C-alpha cells in the first residue's frame, strides 16, 4: 500500500434534500440510509481500506459533528478530523485538508471524496483509483472521475471531454456544465462527448496548491498563513479565523472550471451520489410492486413508491403511484417523486413556522 496516498472525505453537509431523515443534529452521512448496518460515512471510509493506510484518511466536517465522527470511526485520531467552524462550500474545506496534509507529506497524492456516494462495484473502483493516483503522481494534472451517463439527468453536473476517440483511459477535459435543463441534458447525451461529474478528485498536493495560488489566491494566502498551527493545540482557533476570511465557493467553480490541466477518467462503478430520495429509490431493491418498502407495510394498489417508516409502526398505503412516504422522529413526509425538489422548500416553510423544532 502506497504511504503517499491520502484520502479526504467531505462530511460536513446537512443533506436537506433527505429531510426529514437527515436533520441538523444528525445529517444523512451519519445515518444508515441504505439499511446495511453502516452509515454512509462508515461505508465511504471502508471503501478506501485497500487504497490507503487508515492513518492517511482525513474527515472534514462541522465541529458540531466531532462526536458523531469519533463514534463512527474510532480508529482515527483527532488529528485526522478537520473541524470546520461553519460552512464555506468545498473550495475552503479542500484547501484546509490539502495544506494540512502537505505539512505531513510534501509528496502526497490526495483523493477527495464526498461522504454520501454509493458505489456498487468496489473492484472496479479500486482499479480506477489505482490508475488515477498513478497518473496524478507522475504528471502535473488534476484528475476527476466521470460517470458514463445512462439517461439525461438534470441533477448532475456534466463534463465535456476534448477528444473521446483518444485511446487512453484518462482524457483531457474541455468544459464543465452545472445541472443543465432537460433539453441540454438530452443534447449532451446524444453527442457522446459528456460524462456525469462524480465530484471525486485526485491530485498531487503540490499541483493543487499551485492551482489554489493561481485561481483563488486569497484562500491560498489564508491557509498558507494558517498551516503553522496544524497539528498543534491552536489549530481549531486558527482555522476559525481562516474560515472567517474565506468566501463561499465550490472547488468546481474556483479551480476545476478554470484550470487547463484537468483530466477525467470515464467509468461506470454503479455510482450514485445519493443526493435525493429518488436517487436512493433507484439503487435499492424493489418488491413485486416496484416499491422500496420495509417491514410492517401493507400496500394496496401502490406502485413505484419509496416507503421508509419506523420499524415498530404498521403503515397501510393505498392508491399511491410514484410517491415518497418517509417518517422519522416527529415528521411525516408524503411527496410525489417528481416534486422532490420542493423538499427544501417544505423544510424552509417548517422552519419559518416552527423554528428548528422539525429541522
Beta strands in the chain (DSSP E): 5-10, 57-62, 81-84, 109-114, 118-119, 142-147, 158-161, 171-177, 194-204, 262-267, 271-272, 292-293, 297-300, 306-308, 315-318, 323-328, 331-336
As a whole number, mean pLDDT of residues 105-116 equals: 96
Average pLDDT over residues 296-300: 91
Residue 51 has pLDDT above 80, yes or no: yes
Whether residue 355 is predicted with pLDDT greater than 90 in this model: the reply is no
Model confidence at 273: pLDDT above 90: no
SS3 205: helix
pLDDT value for 164 = 65
Domains plus CATH for the chain? 5-272 (3.90.550.10), 286-354 (no CATH)
pLDDT tens figures, 56-80: 999 999 999 999 999 999 999 999 9
Q: How sure is the predictor about 84, in pLDDT bands with cuts at 50, 70 and 90?
A: very high
pLDDT at 30 over 90: yes
Contact 146, 195 (CB under 8 A): yes
Q: Does the pLDDT of residue 259 top 90, yes or no?
A: yes
Task: Please determine, for residue 294, whether its predicted confidence score (pLDDT) is greater than 80.
Answer: no
| Residue 121: band (very low, low, confident or very high) from pLDDT cuts 50, 70, 90 | very high
Question: Of the given ranges (11-15, 204-208, 301-305, 313-317), which has the lowest mean pLDDT?
Answer: 11-15
Residue 215 has pLDDT above 70, yes or no: yes
Kindly indicate the confidence band of residue 165, based on its pLDDT and cuts at 50, 70 and 90: low
Contact 43, 274 (CB under 8 A): no
How do strand 194-204 and strand 142-147 relate by DSSP bridges? antiparallel
pLDDT digits (tens, 9 = 90+) for 233-250: 999 999 999 999 999 999
227-234's contacts with Cβ under 8 Å and 24+ in sequence apart are: 227/99, 227/100, 227/102, 227/103, 230/99, 230/100, 230/103, 231/79, 231/100, 231/103, 231/104
Instruction: Answer for the pair 176, 216: CB distance below 8 angstroms, yes or no.
Output: no
Q: Residue 179: its pLDDT value, please?
A: 82
pTM for the complete prediction? 0.91
Given a cut of 90, whether residue 35 has pLDDT beyond it is: no
At residue 354, does pLDDT exceed 90? no
Amino acid at each position: 500500500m502506497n504511504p503517499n496516498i491520502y484520502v479526504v472525505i467531505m462530511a460536513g453537509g446537512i443533506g436537506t434534500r433527505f429531510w426529514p431523515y437527515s436533520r441538523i443534529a444528525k445529517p444523512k452521512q451519519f445515518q444508515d440510509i441504505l439499511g446495511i448496518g453502516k452509515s454512509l460515512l462508515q461505508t465511504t471510509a471502508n471503501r478506501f481500506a485497500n487504497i490507503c493506510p487508515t492513518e492517511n484518511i482525513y474527515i472534514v466536517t462541522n465541529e458540531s459533528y466531532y462526536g458523531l465522527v469519533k463514534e463512527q470511526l474510532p480508529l482515527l485520531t483527532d488529528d485526522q478530523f478537520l473541524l470546520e467552524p461553519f460552512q464555506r462550500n468545498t473550495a475552503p474545506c479542500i484547501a484546509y485538508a490539502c495544506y494540512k496534509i502537505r505539512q505531513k507529506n510534501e509528496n502526497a497524492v490526495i483523493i477527495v471524496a464526498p461522504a454520501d456516494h454509493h458505489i456498487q462495484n468496489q473492484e472496479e473502483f479500486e482499479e480506477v483509483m489505482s490508475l488515477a493516483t498513478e497518473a496524478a503522481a507522475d504528471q502535473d494534472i488534476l484528475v476527476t472521475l466521470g460517470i458514463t451517463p445512462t439517461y439525461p439527468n438534470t441533477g448532475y453536473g456534466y463534463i465535456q471531454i476534448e477528444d473521446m476517440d483518444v485511446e487512453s483511459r484518462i482524457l483531457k477535459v474541455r468544459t464543465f456544465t452545472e445541472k443543465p435543463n432537460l433539453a441540454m441534458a438530452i443534447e449532451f447525451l446524444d453527442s457522446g462527448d459528456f460524462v456525469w461529474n462524480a465530484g471525486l478528485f485526485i491530485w498531487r498536493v503540490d499541483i493543487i496548491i499551485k492551482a489554489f495560488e493561481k485561481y483563488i489566491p486569497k484562500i491560498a494566502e489564508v491557509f498558507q498563513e494558517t498551516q503553522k498551527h496544524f497539528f498543534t493545540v491552536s489549530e481549531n482557533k486558527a482555522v476559525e479565523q481562516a474560515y472567517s476570511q474565506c468566501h463561499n465557493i465550490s472547488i468546481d467553480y474556483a479551480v476545476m472550471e478554470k484550470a487547463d490541466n484537468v483530466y477525467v477518467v470515464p467509468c461506470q462503478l454503479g455510482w450514485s451520489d445519493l443526493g435525493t430520495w429518488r436517487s436512493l429509490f433507484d439503487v435499492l431493491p424493489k418488491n413485486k410492486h416496484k416499491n422500496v418498502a420495509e417491514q410492517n407495510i401493507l400496500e394496496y394498489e401502490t406502485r413505484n413508491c419509496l416507503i421508509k417508516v419506523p420499524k415498530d409502526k404498521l403503515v397501510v398505503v393505498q392508491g399511491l403511484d410514484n410517491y415518497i412516504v418517509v417518517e422519522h422522529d416527529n415528521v411525516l413526509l408524503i411527496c410525489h417523486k417528481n416534486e422532490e425538489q420542493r423538499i427544501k422548500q417544505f423544510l424552509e416553510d417548517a422552519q419559518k413556522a416552527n423554528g428548528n423544532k422539525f429541522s
